[in-house]
Amino acid sequence: MKLPTLLSGLVAGVFALLPLVAVAQQPIVIKFSHVVAHDTPKGLAAEFFAKRAGELTKGKVKVEVYANSTLYKDKEEMEALQLGAVQMLAPSLAKFGPLGVKEFELFDLPYIFDNYTELHKVTQGPIGQSLLKKLEPKGVTGLAFWDNGFKSFSANTPIKMPADLKGKKLRIQSSKVLEEEIRALSALPQVMAFSEVYQALQTGVVDGTENPISNLYTQKMFEVQKHLALTEHGYLGYAVIANKKFWEGLPADVRGQLDAAMKESTAYANKIAKEQNDKDLEAVKKTGKTQVYALTPEERQAFKKALAPVHLKMESRIGKELLQSVYKETGFDPANP
């Protein structure tokens, strides 16, 4: 072969390889969509994960976080994940019923956890692991549980006793257990996407709602709710999930690095959740727009008593055996709330 021909062949070969080199250097992009504000336990933990994923994979993975329903609303985001339009989400545990995994609704049962210590026995233990496994047939890989906090009721009229919510239209997440909870108070449940709640409260489509304080504060619901009673009657937290096909298709070393980033992020999320909610409660009080009421022990007991029947009603939906194993961990007894 003549030299010029050889050279031009080499040059052509190098150019032919260039796109491959370029492709090899492109980071793997993970779109992580969620519905709350950046400055919340979930928002901050998602950012933390994005940072650590980039660092631990040395730039091989780029996590793009889309907060505040900018990409998808509640129901749509679950569908988008299954279709692979986004790769990661952290929906609240109340949003897994419509996916067909009703067991997750155990977390919505009133007063089932009195504090984070009881909760972690379930989410960070074998029960939590077995719940995440139940997502696999849906094409979803369960990665971790991240905390938010305990929900309290708000409305435009004072709330001290269960009867104060009678007849009110209350926005809830898409959970059958939450529907029963609201009915147990003789109020009217209204399922609605999170992104629509502020407007619904503002226009009177609903009278009130239930939230951990971090969500109430960061969505500015204090502007449109005059009263908040610290009922802390239920838990709201998240399962971090990925599209199964995507996750299992990752190179093993990269997946291992992402698992490590997730482990760190979970510790971070569960450390800041209470701090964030406590800080936001002070911030709500400071606005002077919402009156915050701390229930007396008797009033709290009245809510517990009114809501305890929800456990029995929902037992067959969630699974008796599963519920018994949770009660064993937490010490809650619905017959003696």
Which residues are near ligand LMR by CB under 6 A?
Answer: 35-36, 92, 148, 173, 194, 215, 236
Measured from the Cβ of residue 116, the count of other Cβ atoms closer than 10 Å reads 17
The token duo for 7 is 């050279």
DSSP string, 201-224: HHHTSSSEEEE-HHHHHHTTGGGS
How far is 171 from 176, CA to CA, in rounded Å? Answer: 13
- In which element (H, E) is residue 278 found? helix 252-287
- Closest distance to ligand LMR from the beta carbon of 78 (Å): 12
- Closest distance to ligand LMR from the beta carbon of 153 (Å): 13
Return the number of the residue (77 or 180) whose C-beta is nearest ligand LMR. Answer: 77
Question: Is the separation of the CB atoms in 277 and 148 below 8 Å?
Answer: yes
How far is 36 from 252, CA to CA, in rounded Å? Answer: 31
- Closest distance to ligand LMR from the beta carbon of 253 (Å): 32
Q: HSE, CB side, 13 Å, CA atoms: give it for residue 23.
A: 5
Return the number of the residue (103 or 210) whose C-beta is nearest ligand LMR. Answer: 210
**Phi-psi map region of 102: left, alpha, beta (phi>0 left; psi -120 to 50 alpha):** alpha
Q: HSE, CB side, 13 Å, CA atoms: give it for residue 259.
A: 11
Question: Is the separation of the CB atoms in 239 and 136 below 8 Å?
Answer: no
Return the number of the residue (61 or 268) whose C-beta is nearest ligand LMR. Answer: 268
- Closest distance to ligand LMR from the beta carbon of 308 (Å): 23
- Closest distance to ligand LMR from the beta carbon of 279 (Å): 16
Measured from the Cβ of residue 222, the count of other Cβ atoms closer than 10 Å reads 22
Residues in Cβ contact with 140 at an 8 Å cutoff, skipping those fewer than 6 apart: 81, 82, 99, 241, 242, 243, 244
- Closest distance to ligand LMR from the beta carbon of 11 (Å): 55
- Closest distance to ligand LMR from the beta carbon of 149 (Å): 10
- Closest distance to ligand LMR from the beta carbon of 38 (Å): 13
Return the number of the residue (61 or 109) whose C-beta is nearest ligand LMR. Answer: 109
Q: HSE, CB side, 13 Å, CA atoms: give it for residue 287.
A: 21
Return the number of the residue (149 or 334) whose C-beta is nearest ligand LMR. Answer: 149
Return the number of the residue (36 or 165) whose C-beta is nearest ligand LMR. Answer: 36
Return the number of the residue (36 or 119) whose C-beta is nearest ligand LMR. Answer: 36
Return the number of the residue (128 or 212) whose C-beta is nearest ligand LMR. Answer: 212
How far is 72 from 80, CA to CA, in rounded Å? Answer: 8
